[in-house]
Structure 1
């Protein structure tokens, strides 16, 4: 420590501590102000000012996995609204045709293409997907497909545990990896494109009783973030989306409110953030929730998370017990 600081601190420790405290408070204020200002601009001003990413200019087609309901379907519809033709990939042909019909009716002139694929069923079909996409100018890939536990449960007690574990890994991790492998080369060749990976708020922190889901979503988050670094400067945008609760079937169809966002609003908000955030919670409400959670000490967060998940588990098991009693009667 220099002579100046050695002399200063004993003489006026109170003043020194006040100055340090003032600096820390000012730094916190500036960071908070920047956080709120940037989020306000991206989520409320960018689209009205025409400053969002032009997805059609990146490529004629957008590809969306898990496109028949929830966030995936909302992404597909909003990309069509922005002028893209859309490839819809999911496991139900009937539902795919219904979404394709809705897009073409809502946005006349928009082309759609459907590909039936069950992302839990091994990896034999990825060659077929590659062939089906051959020749299409794909500017956007939304890696949305994913699955969750049927209810919170300890890892060793998962119902149908071995099958469920493999399904989760294939659907949540392998799908994003191999779909990116299929689509990315032609983006690199054209020096433009967007690849969005749907992760989860559960992938940004360890969440008990959904351990494998939390881990697979952490993979999604890191996969997108590292590829963003790897391909930075080559014209490719990678984005990791880490939502909290969205009003979808996967979340148990909760009622939308200021914290639980409607899927249509959520997808539109996410697409508006492309090019501004390489990692985003997708909506100002979720960004604010994350900011608030980040102020809580990690050990407190973990206890709160465990308590919340245990309550969810208890409710599901109680319902199952009642149903079994009704059947036995």
Structure 2
């Protein structure tokens, strides 16, 4: 008869094999999203007539607006730049023949939501993309290095945290009543760990993830999909329009990829290369990642990179 110790180690070995077998299966599924997470052609339009995209004037938000219009939805596009929104509305209308509604809003301000609620109240909205986000500085900085820290804190919280929660509060009741709807909340890959030099931004983005995951648990059984999307490098203004490569994707390629993972869970990196990058960053020992030499090197690297692609600015809003 086997000893208790033999039974323990045999069971432990079996559990480890099962655990890593499941992990391998999950990775395999992420490699083939079209096979594992298929979406019918009419999926998005079946959610409702309209989609709402915040931070839609450029970059990732612009491409989400285009992609949803191409899927047969009318689109409400929102940001603070009226001229850019109007041009985008024209481009989407000409390319897809869908209706486009423009709403101008500066989400760093406190009082913008009453007008938004009024403008949206009569629309059958099936998809919400909370994309708007603010990076306090293009150059990574320590928290106290910000020259106007009080204002920065307020604007980051308003834009990255409050806006997402308020937009969900505005549109979630209609989705719940209809028993269907999609909410995509755009976070950031750097929220995968506490990230020095981007402390405030990364913390605001981890709120996006946890809030999304909590909402999905609350409303999944009521027919809704609520997902946090956490990209790393995407060639946008916020990233200094870096050249695209295997890791830095164009906004259009990233959005196309991320929509394939809509049924992959309450959190996704949106692309397989960003998933592996997240795994790599989480694997680096914190003592190495948080060393002063590494942090200073990061600051110098980004500073030089930004100098090559565009002039530095102290504030970026997507």
Native 8 Å contact 1:65 1:72 kept in 2: yes
Q: 1:274: Cα distance to partner? A: 1.3
Residue 156 of structure 2 corresponds to residue 168 of structure 1? yes
Q: 1:125: Cα distance to partner? A: 1.7
SS at match of 2:221: coil
SS at match of 1:171: helix
- Counterpart CA distance in 2 for 1:281 and 1:84 is 24
SS at match of 1:246: coil
Where does 1:118-133 land on structure 2 (aligned, <5 Å)?
Answer: 118-122=106-110, 124-133=111-120
Native 8 Å contact 2:49 2:125 kept in 1: yes
Deviates more, 1:225-234 or 1:21-30: 21-30
- Counterpart CA distance in 2 for 1:113 and 1:277 is 30
- Tell me which of the two structures has the higher relative contact order, counting C-alpha pairs closer than 8 angstroms and 6 or more residues apart: 2
CA spacing shift, 1:145–1:309, aligned 2, 3 Å: farther
Residue 299 of structure 2 corresponds to residue 313 of structure 1? yes
Native 8 Å contact 1:246 1:262 kept in 2: yes
Native 8 Å contact 1:225 1:240 kept in 2: yes
Q: 1:307: Cα distance to partner? A: 5.0
Native 8 Å contact 1:66 1:72 kept in 2: yes
Residue 206 of structure 2 corresponds to residue 206 of structure 1? no
Residue by residue over 1:207-241, the C-alpha shift from the partner in whole angstroms, topping out at 9 and shown as x without a partner, is 00111101100111111010111112011111011
Where does residue 12 of structure 1 map in the other structure?
Answer: none
Residue by residue over 1:138-158, the C-alpha shift from the partner in whole angstroms, topping out at 9 and shown as x without a partner, is 000000000112221111111
Where does residue 68 of structure 2 map in the other structure?
Answer: 79
Where does residue 38 of structure 1 map in the other structure?
Answer: 29
Which of 114, 136, 143 is equivalent to 2:123?
136
Q: 1:294: Cα distance to partner? A: 3.6
Where does residue 51 of structure 2 map in the other structure?
Answer: 62
Q: 1:317: Cα distance to partner? A: 6.3
Q: TM-score when scaled to structure 2?
A: 0.87
CA spacing shift, 1:315–1:202, aligned 2, 3 Å: closer
- Counterpart CA distance in 2 for 1:159 and 1:53 is 49
Where does residue 132 of structure 2 map in the other structure?
Answer: 145
Residue by residue over 1:240-284, the C-alpha shift from the partner in whole angstroms, topping out at 9 and shown as x without a partner, is 111111111111111111111111011111122112322100111
Unaligned runs of 5+ in 2: 312-318
Native 8 Å contact 2:192 2:278 kept in 1: no
Q: 1:36: Cα distance to partner? A: 2.5
Residue by residue over 1:82-140, the C-alpha shift from the partner in whole angstroms, topping out at 9 and shown as x without a partner, is 111100000010010011111011112x0000000000111x22000000001100000
When the two chains are superposed, the root-mean-square deviation of aligned CA atoms in Å is: 2.6
- Counterpart CA distance in 1 for 2:286 and 2:298 is 21
Native 8 Å contact 2:54 2:77 kept in 1: yes
Aligned residues: 306
